[in-house]
Amino acid sequence: GPLSERHLMDVRLGELPTWLGTRNFSPQALLGEAQKAWSSYYNKYINVKKGGPAGISMLLAGYCLLSYGWNYQHIKHHRWRKYH
């Protein structure tokens, strides 16, 4: 189909700048995409009949990585160093 209707994983690397140009980056569109991604994740991993710890552990791992990334500059200054 047309390039604007393809999913990100179906776009080739050379077509990526053109594909990004067709995207809508308004706040309302970004919020809609975030809601769509959350509902997809929720239906796939959380809202299942026989669920396991995978969905929750992915959320926790994502939070840990995000939190570490946010606090990296602060953590970096508190390392023990041999030479000051």
Q: What would the two tokens of residue 42 be?
A: 């929720």
* The dihedral sign for the CA sequence 9, 12, 14, 17: negative
Q: Are 14 and 20 in contact (CB under 8 A)?
A: no
Q: Confidence class of residue 8 from pLDDT cuts 50, 70 and 90?
A: confident
3-state SS of the chain: helix, strand, coil percent to 5?
A: 70, 0, 30
Give the count of beta carbons closer than 10 Å to the beta carbon of residue 58: 13
pLDDT tens digits along 20-68? 998 889 999 999 999 999 999 888 888 888 878 888 888 899 999 999 9
